[in-house]
Amino acid sequence: MEKQLLYSESHEWVKWINESEAFVGLSEYAASQLGDIVYVNIDADEVSLKDVLGDIESVKAVSDFYSPLEGTVVEVNQEIIDNPALINEDSENTWICKIANVTNNVKLLSKEEYDAFIKEQ
Amino acid sequence: MLKKTSLYDEHVSLNGKMVEFANFILPIQYTSIVNEHMAVRENVGVFDVSHMGEILIEGDKAISFVNYLVCTNIALIKPTRIKYSMLLDDNGAIIDDLLIYCLSETKLLLVVNASNKEKDYKWIVDHQKDGVVISDKSDYYSQIAIQGPKSKALLEKIVDLSLLPTKYYTFKESVKILDHEVLVSKTGYTGEEGYEIYGDGASIKDIFNHLIKLEATPCGLGARDTLRLEAGMPLYGHEMDGTTTPLDTSLEYFCKLDKEDFIGKDKLEDKGLTRVGLENLDKGIIRDKMEVYYNDSLIGYTTSGTFLPYLKGSYAMAIINKNYSMANTIVDVKIRNRLVKAKIVNLPFYKRKKVGG
């Protein structure tokens, strides 16, 4: 099982806890594109691939936060609800939600592959 | 073809995140909109506002000519004074809002929005009369804004304070800063004490670099927008546009219906609209162009909205039916597909505390 962060092409990261559970966060690239994050709302429960988990709002814009996994949202990180700026400070060590009962995932990229992907954007 | 301002290289070396704005390439932020916003509220920030347009009107009848084009009364304007006003079209709708600098009894400098400059210039030229000479000086002038409670203390390090204007909405010409001669006005778009400096590109670049070395925070367009919104100031394209009259957007104070004739005057009528502030009482961020409801009736639309960094909350301005505009009225705003409760509050959201005299 991959212990490193893996990335989706819609800029979430996935960190596996075991085969059926993972933390999901926002890539540093996406966080810096959004700028100051001021509000996060995760209201999804059962999600299929690419379903909207919730909203991430920065001063500049609102952005959908998509699920890279099929499963059940079992926990939302209360720290980022209370202080969304934590995502800007250290996005790759700040998980947003935990998804369990994972049965499927979108194509996930390694750090190197993701870096190459965003260069093309 | 996008235009670069004379400070383009500075923005890049300061890691500005460059974006397209009104045909210019300008920084939206350097580090963070929130940090830059707070620097202006608590300390001092400097903005490149060279994209603003400058149109010079010269002639013996310059003042009466401009007075016919704008809705305020500038008949008695005096050198060193500045007036805020608007150009209206034949229907009374706003073509642009602008500042009028009285350089002399025969010379006025109009400072207009970058996005409207070509339209304004054509409108003014199309109405040219009385032998006035109209010229677009936008390519000559660069401009920076120094804003914040420490703006005077900062400028004191590079200019003799006695040379600076002291009253709000006044200016001085030929102010010597470092080795440059520039125009300095006591104006701004942030709700803080501050100055705006106009000069040639090389002078403004040198002054900007000195201010950055003196640790003024460089601020981008993002903070400029959040600061003006927190201060309740209207922005063309949001609180006003080619379908809005000054009366629709609560700028009637700037419409002098008792002055001699001006373009659009006979079409100004109360349509029952007003501009209000909204404070979001629910989750989420209210943005522009969202529907505002009272019970189930649509009463208007938001015109600007975001998270305001100093007040630390979601606030918006909206143009709504006057009948529902009392402060503390609770309305619903449609954020994407859900309704949130918001309270009507007085503008501005933020007003600086005046220190001393």
Strand pairing partners for B335?
Answer: B338
pLDDT at B354: 72
pLDDT at A121: 81
What is the CATH classification number for the domain harbouring B186?
Answer: 3.30.1360.120
What would the pLDDT profile of A55-114 be if each residue is shown by its tens digit? 999 999 999 999 999 999 999 999 999 999 999 999 999 999 999 999 999 999 999 999
Whether residue B286 is found in the same domain as residue B330: yes
Whether residue B332 is found in the same domain as residue B258: yes
What would the pLDDT profile of B270-290 be if each residue is shown by its tens digit? 999 999 999 999 999 999 999
pLDDT at A74: 98
What is the CATH classification number for the domain harbouring B99?
Answer: 3.30.70.1400
Angle at A72 (CA atoms; ends A68, A77), nearest 5 degrees = 80
What is the CATH classification number for the domain harbouring B282?
Answer: 2.40.30.110
Whether residue B210 is found in the same domain as residue B276: no
Distance to chain B for A100, nearest Cα, Å: 26
Does residue A23 surpass a pLDDT of 90? Answer: yes
B306–chain A Cβ distance below 8 A for any pair:
yes
* 3-class SS of residue B339: strand
- The dihedral built from the CA positions of residue B242, B245, B250 and B254, taken in this order, carries a sign that is positive
- Which residue, chain included where needed, has tokens 């202006």? B40
Whether residue B145 is found in the same domain as residue B45: yes
pLDDT at B357: 42
- For B249, left (φ over 0), alpha (ψ -120 to 50), or beta? alpha
Q: Which of B196, B230, B264 is a domain's end point?
A: B230
B226–chain A Cβ distance below 8 A for any pair:
yes
Tell me the domain boundaries of chain A: 10-106
Q: Residue A3 — pLDDT band, cuts 50, 70, 90?
A: confident
Q: Which of B114, B136, B158 is a domain's end point?
A: B136
pLDDT at B355: 62
- Quote the domain boundaries for residue B85: 54-136
Q: Residue B94 — pLDDT band, cuts 50, 70, 90?
A: very high
Mean local confidence (pLDDT), B168-187:
98
Mean local confidence (pLDDT), B23-28:
97
Residue B225 covered by a domain = yes
Whether residue B83 is found in the same domain as residue B188: no
Distance to chain B for A35, nearest Cα, Å: 7
Q: Residue A2 — pLDDT band, cuts 50, 70, 90?
A: low
Report how far residue B85's alpha carbon sits from residue B72's, in angstroms, rounded to the nearest whole number: 6
B187–chain A Cβ distance below 8 A for any pair:
no
Alpha carbon B120 to its chain's center: 16
**Share of residues in chain B with pLDDT > 70 (%):** 99
What would the pLDDT profile of B52-86 be if each residue is shown by its tens digit? 999 999 999 999 999 999 999 999 999 999 999 99
- Which residue, chain included where needed, has tokens 């301002």? B5
Structural contact between residues A11 and A25, judged by C-beta atoms closer than 8 angstroms: no
Residue B351 covered by a domain = no
CB contact under 8 A, A60 and B222: yes
Provide the total of helices (H) and of strands (E) in chain A, helices listed first.
Answer: 4, 9
Q: Residue B29 — pLDDT band, cuts 50, 70, 90?
A: very high
Instruction: Identify which of A35, A57, A85 has the shortest CB distance to residue B285.
Output: A57
pLDDT at B1: 85
Q: Just give the CATH number of A10-106.
A: 2.40.50.100
Report how far residue B87's alpha carbon sits from residue B108's, in angstroms, rounded to the nearest whole number: 15
Whether residue B101 is found in the same domain as residue B27: no
Report how far residue B339's alpha carbon sits from residue A52's, in angstroms, rounded to the nearest whole number: 19
Closest CA to A99 of A24, A42, A6: A24
| A-contacting residues in B 29-48 (Cβ below 8 Å) | 29, 32-34
CB contact under 8 A, A85 and B29: no
Distance to chain B for A87, nearest Cα, Å: 13
Q: Which of B102, B136, B170 is a domain's end point?
A: B136
Alpha helices in chain A (DSSP H): 28-34, 78-82, 86-89, 111-120
Residue B238 covered by a domain = no
B164–chain A Cβ distance below 8 A for any pair:
no
Number of domains in chain B: 3
What would the pLDDT profile of B230-241 be if each residue is shown by its tens digit? 999 999 999 999
Residue in A29, A33, A36 to test binding to B, most B beta-carbons within 10 Å: A36
pLDDT at B260: 86
- Average pLDDT over chain B, rounded to an integer: 97
Whether residue B162 is found in the same domain as residue B43: yes
* 3-class SS of residue B55: strand
pLDDT at B215: 94
Does residue B356 surpass a pLDDT of 60? Answer: no
Mean local confidence (pLDDT), A24-36:
96
Whether residue B177 is found in the same domain as residue B277: no
